[in-house]
Amino acid sequence: MPGLNVIIGNKDLPLPDDFSRTVLQRCLYTPDYNTEIHSLFENFWIAIVKYEEYPVRQFSDSRYDYFFEGRMFDLSEMQEEQRIREISSTIHGNQVREDQLNALINSVDSEFFLCIVDRIARQWMLIGDSLSRLPVYDYHDENWTLYIRDLVLKQVLIPAEPDPQGVAETIYFGYPLSDRTIYRHTSRLKPAFYILGNARERSNGTWKRHNFEDYRDERNPRAVAAEAGELFLHACYTRLRPYKERVLSLSGGLDSRVIGSALNTLKLPFRISSYLDPWNHAQREIKVAKSLATVWGKKLEVIYTKGSTEELSDKLIKMKAGMNSIGMSFILDFFTRISCPEMVYITGDGGDKLLPDITWDMQGKNVPQVATFILKKHTVIAREIAAKASRVGPKKMHDSLVELLEEYPEKSLRGKYSRFVFMGRGVKWLFEGEDRNRCFFPSITPYYSTSLFGYLMAIHPVVKRNYQLYRYFISIVSPETIRLENANWNFSIDKTRQLKFLLFKQRVKYALPGWVRNFVEKGNHQEFDSIIGTLAMVFPDRFNPDTFRP
């Protein structure tokens, strides 16, 4: 996994002599990767793993060393370095001025992980972007403290031990909840984190606090769509203009087609790629994607993948250390075949979280009832099967969910559920999938632009209800595609009656008692099997996949 890794020895332990070579052997999978090890002071190292075009760099001045992974999209490289230097001025002794940090970071569109090392004061500061778009993992034991992008790098120093609750949550949901991971003593740093430390002490905090129930007064969907359209076009331009080769991953859904129209409007050249698995599961997606490509006068490049293999599964484990299920390993074949120099991979990730009402089907009149609904809707497989496989019963998992929801800062049930959907499935599952893409090339979606995200998340769900905001948004940004069907629905977004009926059926489905749903819909055994298979590869001495077959 490319990126920036901070390694701190807690007991005057040196890095192993063959550390760099071992990292190259275990963490890298293509010849164009390289590793740099920077020793800043006693027991403090920065390990950079990268390929030539991956955005991670280091620069210095008379006092500070700066290590920066990611981008501040609307700044030039010189402006970016100046902004990073200004960020160092928010450190006052052993404290950080959160208000100053917020003003400096929140005013730019960015996705990053930053380490600032003060050579004079012999202290360091770590900062992440507002959404934790680049996953950073935190590991502590008596010997080591790690803040790393690459979990495989941790296993070079420390044997992998499972976290029972993190593993159980992964079996239930497909991802661990809150900041937990599948590894013991290992967590994922929260969005907008900062950590300030030296040899004696460390402090941490959050420079921005998201609120999922603080809505604007604007209730006119046409006006909101017009404003969102302008922000979206600006995000596409600033994020994608610097690249020479733009490759749009086009599906038959809604999110990626809007990007294609925006690139066309902005006159930014791009090519279009999609993949088809050996079982033709994406046949309808390909059919719609071809129609979309024709609208823009382009040809769809269809890559026929060979499906998941033992070799591809092993490669994905080496890249993401189990934070991606091996069921998605087939996509590595697709990435290898579309990769080219100076390219950016463009996805529609995030559109389905920002434009529709993500609380449209929420059920429950109190926190325990909402937790029950989450266990109904968001689990991978029937709860009884998940309980047997994880050895954590549904009641214990329900109690854990209740505790998590009650810890959320939002007061309303809608706000708590919104946070779960975005910070749970979004940050802990979807962002990890996007991170996998970065092993091959820079991967960008315009939907998580700082200004666009902030604007759309503050729009009241009533404006987004029944996809009305999304419909107006497409009519403004992508009017030429509005009558083309959504492959997930088999009809277009302008068919409002059909859409309302579809949403009604979904509400009924999740209102059914658990035993009825388990009888009618046994769950996604394929996804469940891939999760168990992933855990068995990560912890081969702890998991026998055959033990968990339903």
Residue 157 has a pLDDT of 87
Comparing C-alpha atoms, which of 215, 546, 174, 544 is closest to residue 381?
174
Q: Which two tokens stand for residue 39?
A: 């020793």
Total-model pTM: 0.94
Residue 98 has a pLDDT of 94
Domain residue ranges in the chain: 3-206, 221-356+430-496
Length reported for the chain: 550
Q: Which two tokens stand for residue 435?
A: 């991170």
Calculate what percentage of the chain has a pLDDT beyond 90: 78
Q: Say whether pLDDT at 31 is over 90.
A: no
The Cα 310–Cα 329 span in angstroms is 9
Q: How confident is the model at residue 195 (pLDDT cuts 50, 70, 90)?
A: very high
pLDDT digits (tens, 9 = 90+) for 314-329: 999 999 999 999 999 9
Q: Say whether pLDDT at 168 is over 80.
A: yes
Q: How confident is the model at residue 499 (pLDDT cuts 50, 70, 90)?
A: very high
**Beta strand 343-346 pairing with 245-249:** parallel
Q: How many CB atoms within 10 Å of residue 42?
A: 10
The Cα 527–Cα 327 span in angstroms is 7
Q: Say whether pLDDT at 29 is over 80.
A: no
Fold for 3-206, please state it: Glutamine Phosphoribosylpyrophosphate, subunit 1, domain 1 (3.60.20)
Q: Which two tokens stand for residue 216?
A: 């604007």
Task: For residues 264-287, give the mean pLDDT.
Answer: 92
Q: Say whether pLDDT at 280 is over 90.
A: no
Q: How confident is the model at residue 550 (pLDDT cuts 50, 70, 90)?
A: very low
Fold for 221-356+430-496, please state it: Rossmann fold (3.40.50)
Q: Say whether pLDDT at 528 is over 70.
A: yes
Q: How confident is the model at residue 111 (pLDDT cuts 50, 70, 90)?
A: very high
Q: Which residue has the higher pLDDT, 186 or 544?
A: 186
Question: How far from the centroid of its chain's Cα atoms is residue 57's Cα?
Answer: 22
Sheet holding 443-444, edge to edge: 300-304, 271-276, 245-249, 343-346, 443-444
**Beta strand 271-276 pairing with 245-249:** parallel
pLDDT digits (tens, 9 = 90+) for 350-377: 999 999 999 998 999 999 999 999 998 9
Q: Which two tokens stand for residue 317?
A: 């484990």
Strand partners, 343: 245
Q: Which residues contact 37 (CB under 8 A, 6 or more apart)?
A: 15, 19, 20, 45, 46, 47
Over the chain, what is the mean pLDDT? 92
Residue 515 has a pLDDT of 59
The CA–CA distances, whole Å, from 324 to 35, 310, 535, 547 equal 23, 15, 10, 21
Q: Say whether pLDDT at 549 is over 60.
A: no
The Cα 178–Cα 420 span in angstroms is 9
Q: How many CB atoms within 10 Å of residue 108?
A: 19
pLDDT digits (tens, 9 = 90+) for 120-140: 999 999 999 999 999 999 999
User: Half-sphere exposure of 426 toward its Cβ, with a 13 Å CA cutoff?
Assistant: 21
The Cα 373–Cα 75 span in angstroms is 43
Three-state secondary-structure class, residue 334:
helix
Q: Say whether pLDDT at 546 is over 80.
A: no
DSSP string, 188-211: EPPTTEEEEE-SS-EEEEES----
Q: Say whether pLDDT at 461 is over 90.
A: yes
